[in-house]
Amino acid sequence: MTGVAAVLPGLVTGLSLIIAIGAQNAFVIRQGLTRRFVFEIAIVSAALDATLILLGTGGLGAIIQAVPVIFEIVRWFGVAYLVWFGIQSVRRAFASEVMSLDGDSATTRWGIVLSTVTFSLLNPHVYLDTVIFLGSVANQFGADRWWFALGACTASFLWFFSIAYGARGLSRYVTKPVFWRVLDSIIAVTMFVIAAILATSTLG
């Protein structure tokens, strides 16, 4: 397998890792349903994922594995942020006001971008999947490793734009307040569970 042929296994491997119910995906889907800053969320999520994949292909994974304290720092920042976001989701679920499909007018573009960056980077598993695992697999392709990386990066862009705009397209059908209460309740549980997993799992 040479050259551009390495793109396909990169695409398949990237999709197999990214398609999962997680904090980042839940955040992207919810924001897509609100129809606010959908492009910004999709492009930032995909670009950060692609950057980590390229860094891993370039050899950053070996450095990270040699300094395990990096995982510990990211782990506890991630746990704190997930718990905070889970609490915010609980508050939204039990709030008396009706959720507007126009989103929260107090939320700014930069606030959403910052939240997207946080969900993308404050999860040590994203480094295990992209920098270390995908980077290691890419390097098995030798001179064609960048083609593999291109496939994996493409998977990230396809996935995040699909779920963000897919959710946006479905937003017209989910206008009832009960939907948003159930959704935020599910998101809250997801955040708390992932926070617990991060706090108790062994990384590396």
pLDDT of residue 203: 63
Quote the number of domains for the chain.
1
pLDDT of residue 106: 45
pLDDT of residue 155: 94
Query: How far is Cα 63 from Cα 72, in angstroms, rounded to an integer?
Result: 15
Whether 48 and 113 have beta carbons less than 8 Å apart is answered as: no
Query: How far is Cα 48 from Cα 12, in angstroms, rounded to an integer?
Result: 19
Where does residue 15 fall: left (phi above 0), alpha (psi -120 to 50 degrees), or beta otherwise? alpha
Residue numbers of the domain that contains 95: 3-200
Q: pLDDT tens digits, the chain, 204 residues: what are they?
A: 566 778 888 888 888 878 766 788 888 998 899 888 999 999 999 999 999 999 989 888 777 777 778 778 888 888 898 899 899 889 888 875 445 554 444 478 888 999 899 888 888 878 888 888 888 888 888 888 899 999 999 999 999 999 999 999 988 877 778 888 888 898 899 889 888 888 887 765
